Structure 1
Amino acid sequence: MSKLTGLHEAISRLDEAWADAGDSNDLSRDQLIAVTNAIGVLQRRLDAVHVGVAAGIASESRTELGADSLAKQQGFRTPAKLIAAATGVSMGDAIRLIKVGEATAARTDLLGARLPAKYPLVSEALAAGTLSAQAAALIIAVLERCRIAAGPERTAEGERLLVDAAPGLALDEIRRLVVRVEAWLDPDGVEPREDEQRGKRSLTFFERGGRLHLNGNFDVETGAPIVAALRGYVSAAFAARKAAPDPDAPDADHRTVPMLQADALALFCAHVLGCKSEKLPLAGATVIVRMHLDDLESATGTATIDGIDQPISAAAARRMAADGGVIPCVLGGDSEILDWGRKKRFFTKAQRLALAERDGGCAMCNLPPEMVKAHHMRWWKRHHGRTDLSNGILLCESCHHRIHDNGWEIYIDGAGVNARVWFIPPTHVDPARTPRLGGRARFDIAA
């Protein structure tokens, strides 16, 4: 199928989804979903055409053409400026379109023989309408950064992993995948990059207009305790708000999340200065650093921090484990008893750590571990559910209510921390009820 044929089919699909509705206000719920999906397909199909055209414009505007450059003939200094002006995108977006087009276009050797695209799997995914230009740009950028260190075979495998995992994910979720794949492609580069990032850390403040302004920029190792503490305070504040007898009272806590985070920072600093408070309202927030036993023993490889996407080096993990308030979770060795049957109603701290390892936070929406709760899938009291890992799941309050109220089902495939969590949607969401992978496994990279 040619790119234009795919584009015409996507337009037809949008027409069918819209049906006889006059405008978007007339669409039914089913039509809203169908139209949204059709728009996504259409946008990706259009992206496939756009990147090819952008690469063509760049080729016809290369420097050696001089006055015959297509961009210059049209009154623009560069092809990116031409594309940005014609389509209304930013210069950065235009440059990315060109880079994606050049990396996914067929090539020729010195004798004129055709060669495959530099990244053929990305090219195929674009043409098939399963990958957007923005997602392709993220994938190509990380492959370009790592291709020398990783070598051709590992780079090709990284391309396959990303192209296979990207469909169905939002762009922010693809960014999470990209940082994990970069650590997998170039594990030896993680620590040097950390040294570079650590050298750029900063916290500045100044007074203006009667207010104090702070601007912080932290590397992951420095920032992890800050993130855990602020999120813990916010979680505790929301829990207290929920337990209030009259949450709508005039004197009730109506602070926004940014306000709560600002108040948390002030409270923490005041505690350090006075050191009089016996307990800070952090709702059990802890920095948890996870790494495999083999990596710990060999002092190589990488580790991850709960609630942080960027992997860290083994050296950084060892430094963090030596600090107070940080729990090192070593995988692959002996563990505590994680199944309690009916002997305990509430999940233990060891079980919560194991669930956090399996689910990575909210198993459905990926909210960080410190902002979720451990729930029984089969209720402990009403349905005599067991307090075991196989009957436990980490969910935020929103997803917990959505699952119970809207008829979602949960299935655990496997046992222990390596099990996979699947969510089965109700028929009104997906008539085929296709299971959706949740938990940490959705972002794990296994070559």
Structure 2
Amino acid sequence: MSSPVATLAEAVTALGDAWPDGSLAGCEPGRLASLTELVGTARRLLDAAAAQVATEVARQSRPELGAESLAKRHGHRNATVMLATTLGTSTAEAAKLVEVGDATAPQATPAGAPAPARHPHIAAAVASGTLGRDAASMIIRMLDALPHRVTPAAIDDAERALTGQAIGLELHALQKILLHAEAHLDPEGLEPKEEELRALTAVTVRNDRSGMIILNAKLDPARGAPVLTLLEAMVTAELGRERDAATRGNGLPPRPIPVMLAEALITVCEHYTGCDRTDQPLPGATVIVRCTLDDLRTGTGTATIDGIDQPICIGTARRMAASGGIIPWVMGTDSEILDWGREKRLFTTAQKRAITERDGGCIGCGAPPGRSKVHHVTWWTHGGTTDLTNGALLCDSCHHRIHDQGWDIHIDGPGINAHVWLLPPPTIDPTRTPRPAAQRRFTYQPAA
């Protein structure tokens, strides 16, 4: 693997050319966005160089070297302390640099002959500055934790696919992809993992010195899904009421989401303890578990819960179906009209189910279906129809961003297998290159 130092020097030179003076006050938006990309590239390349240095520092500071260890000769307890002290970071961050460097450095055979890096696809992406240290570390840890029943060929294919998907993603979105990739590669490991998560499920309650009640909850995916779904549905409904009030000109400043979540939890408990309020069930408060009918019948494969990142084993899906009942849904039969043309303005529940199966959530940010609504791609007021090919799931924030800032939506193909694309405005991308919607950006896509 070639040294990233030369590439780093080029990136820093490009950044210096684009930023010749010291002030950014009032910087033109397009230039500021370009500077952000240049800084990101330089930072990733600097991390790549730091990882190589960290690996060699760790090699020359091996415990068996004793007093001759590089770290000890420079007055440090070990390599991570030396790196943390020198780089001005934490020992955890220093250990992450060593981890990435070790996984991406060239190896040697027992005979001393050169060999590829343990993770060559990650190594190439890190060296080129397209993949950062933190993203590389997350992928490495997931792949290295896979059991021996996952073949080396499958791990190599997954590494190549994940390295490509991780580029341009923030870390929470990457974590969601990694959970799906792990379930895809090792479905047999889901059930024991769920048993571990169920064993860790707990709620602690205490009073602090001011008298406030402090709750801390950890819930496994299957049993936590109803809690999360209900609270999010209640908050979404409250946000809608606040937005409507603001539109009428008599709204108050929006409250923080944590405040809304707390009040939603209080409301649920008040109902259970005998409150005489008779609110109607909230739309979007149904827990949706998705799997194929064949998998449900045979007990193979995996399932997902809307709004929950961690996939579940098919056994858990079966238990949830047994306790909650099954509503069979057959796409496109005569029992449900999925295309209404201009006869109806609002999308039906059947249509939203179909569009949710295709989009998975908000096509912009990936927000779960409970926080998203079906919107007309071509506005109803502009002649748009209430059909599947003219509907897309959007949260309120992305809905306003897309329509107010000149983004377009393109749906390629019919039915739930259609591909949804977002076309940026020329001010962001003069070529208007289509970008895949969140369902494909945030879901693991195995290598072809």
1:12 corresponds to which residue? 13
Quick check: 280-289 or 397-406, which moved more?
Answer: 280-289
- Provide the C-alpha distance between the structure 1 equivalents of 2:236 and 2:158, rounded to a whole number of angstroms: 37
Asked if 1 retains the 8 angstrom alpha-carbon contact of 2:332 and 2:338, the reply is no
Q: How does 1:22-421 map to 2 (within 5 A)?
A: 22-208=22-208, 209-244=210-245, 252=252, 254-274=254-274, 276-280=276-280, 282-324=282-324, 336-380=336-380, 382-421=381-420
- How far residue 309 of structure 1 moved from its aligned partner, in angstroms, is 0.9
* 1:245/1:404 CA distance change after superposition, 3 Å: closer
- Provide the C-alpha distance between the structure 1 equivalents of 2:63 and 2:328, rounded to a whole number of angstroms: 55
3-state SS of paired residue (1:199): helix
Structure 2: which amino acid aligns with 1:395?
A: L
3-state SS of paired residue (2:307): coil
- Provide the C-alpha distance between the structure 2 equivalents of 1:83 and 1:330, rounded to a whole number of angstroms: 57
Asked if 2 retains the 8 angstrom alpha-carbon contact of 1:363 and 1:440, the reply is yes
- How far residue 2 of structure 1 moved from its aligned partner, in angstroms, is 3.6
Structure 1: which amino acid aligns with 2:191?
A: E
- Provide the C-alpha distance between the structure 1 equivalents of 2:353 and 2:286, rounded to a whole number of angstroms: 11
1:439 corresponds to which residue? 438
- How far residue 67 of structure 1 moved from its aligned partner, in angstroms, is 1.0
Across the aligned residues of Structure 1 and Structure 2, the Cα RMSD in angstroms comes to 2.1
Asked if 1 retains the 8 angstrom alpha-carbon contact of 2:143 and 2:159, the reply is yes
- Provide the C-alpha distance between the structure 1 equivalents of 2:243 and 2:269, rounded to a whole number of angstroms: 26
- Provide the C-alpha distance between the structure 1 equivalents of 2:262 and 2:126, rounded to a whole number of angstroms: 43
- Provide the C-alpha distance between the structure 2 equivalents of 1:321 and 1:92, rounded to a whole number of angstroms: 42
Asked if 1 retains the 8 angstrom alpha-carbon contact of 2:331 and 2:354, the reply is no
Give per-residue Cα distances to partners, 1:131-183, cap 9 Å, x unaligned: 00100000000000115231201111110110111111112111111111111
- Provide the C-alpha distance between the structure 1 equivalents of 2:31 and 2:360, rounded to a whole number of angstroms: 34
Asked if 1 retains the 8 angstrom alpha-carbon contact of 2:424 and 2:432, the reply is yes
- How far residue 343 of structure 1 moved from its aligned partner, in angstroms, is 2.6
- How far residue 186 of structure 1 moved from its aligned partner, in angstroms, is 0.8
The TM-score, its normalising length taken from structure 2, stands at: 0.94
- Provide the C-alpha distance between the structure 2 equivalents of 1:280 and 1:143, rounded to a whole number of angstroms: 46
- Provide the C-alpha distance between the structure 2 equivalents of 1:246 and 1:377, rounded to a whole number of angstroms: 23
Structure 2: which amino acid aligns with 1:241?
A: E
* 1:323/1:278 CA distance change after superposition, 3 Å: farther
Structure 2: which amino acid aligns with 1:223?
A: G
- How far residue 249 of structure 1 moved from its aligned partner, in angstroms, is 5.4
- How far residue 392 of structure 1 moved from its aligned partner, in angstroms, is 0.2
* 1:332/1:239 CA distance change after superposition, 3 Å: closer
Asked if 1 retains the 8 angstrom alpha-carbon contact of 2:356 and 2:393, the reply is yes
* 1:210/1:99 CA distance change after superposition, 3 Å: same
- How far residue 331 of structure 1 moved from its aligned partner, in angstroms, is 8.2
Asked if 2 retains the 8 angstrom alpha-carbon contact of 1:57 and 1:79, the reply is yes
- Provide the C-alpha distance between the structure 2 equivalents of 1:312 and 1:385, rounded to a whole number of angstroms: 38
3-state SS of paired residue (2:151): helix
Asked if 1 retains the 8 angstrom alpha-carbon contact of 2:229 and 2:285, the reply is yes
Structure 1: which amino acid aligns with 2:188?
A: D
Structure 1: which amino acid aligns with 2:239?
A: F
- How far residue 16 of structure 1 moved from its aligned partner, in angstroms, is 2.3
- Provide the C-alpha distance between the structure 1 equivalents of 2:218 and 2:440, rounded to a whole number of angstroms: 30
Structure 2 unmatched runs, 5+: none
- How far residue 333 of structure 1 moved from its aligned partner, in angstroms, is 9.7
- How far residue 341 of structure 1 moved from its aligned partner, in angstroms, is 2.1
* 1:185/1:246 CA distance change after superposition, 3 Å: closer
* 1:255/1:323 CA distance change after superposition, 3 Å: farther
Asked if 2 retains the 8 angstrom alpha-carbon contact of 1:122 and 1:136, the reply is yes
Q: How many residues align?
A: 443
3-state SS of paired residue (2:148): helix
- Provide the C-alpha distance between the structure 2 equivalents of 1:264 and 1:419, rounded to a whole number of angstroms: 36
* 1:330/1:154 CA distance change after superposition, 3 Å: farther
Asked if 1 retains the 8 angstrom alpha-carbon contact of 2:291 and 2:303, the reply is yes
- How far residue 26 of structure 1 moved from its aligned partner, in angstroms, is 4.7
- Provide the C-alpha distance between the structure 2 equivalents of 1:398 and 1:84, rounded to a whole number of angstroms: 40
The TM-score, its normalising length taken from structure 1, stands at: 0.94
* 1:72/1:332 CA distance change after superposition, 3 Å: farther
- Provide the C-alpha distance between the structure 1 equivalents of 2:368 and 2:67, rounded to a whole number of angstroms: 55
- How far residue 321 of structure 1 moved from its aligned partner, in angstroms, is 2.2
- How far residue 245 of structure 1 moved from its aligned partner, in angstroms, is 6.9
What percent identity do the matched residue pairs reach? 45
* 1:176/1:202 CA distance change after superposition, 3 Å: same
* 1:315/1:276 CA distance change after superposition, 3 Å: farther
Asked if 2 retains the 8 angstrom alpha-carbon contact of 1:374 and 1:392, the reply is yes
- Provide the C-alpha distance between the structure 2 equivalents of 1:304 and 1:203, rounded to a whole number of angstroms: 24
Structure 1: which amino acid aligns with 2:272?
A: V
- Provide the C-alpha distance between the structure 1 equivalents of 2:255 and 2:152, rounded to a whole number of angstroms: 52
Asked if 2 retains the 8 angstrom alpha-carbon contact of 1:18 and 1:31, the reply is no
3-state SS of paired residue (2:177): helix
Instruction: Indicate the structure whose relative CO is greater, using CA pairs within 8 Å and at least 6 residues apart.
Output: 2
Quick check: 142-151 or 40-49, which moved more?
Answer: 142-151
- Provide the C-alpha distance between the structure 2 equivalents of 1:138 and 1:126, rounded to a whole number of angstroms: 13
* 1:234/1:226 CA distance change after superposition, 3 Å: same
- Provide the C-alpha distance between the structure 1 equivalents of 2:104 and 2:438, rounded to a whole number of angstroms: 32
- How far residue 213 of structure 1 moved from its aligned partner, in angstroms, is 1.2
Give per-residue Cα distances to partners, 1:83-103, cap 9 Å, x unaligned: 111112211111111111111
- Provide the C-alpha distance between the structure 2 equivalents of 1:318 and 1:31, rounded to a whole number of angstroms: 53
- Provide the C-alpha distance between the structure 1 equivalents of 2:332 and 2:89, rounded to a whole number of angstroms: 52
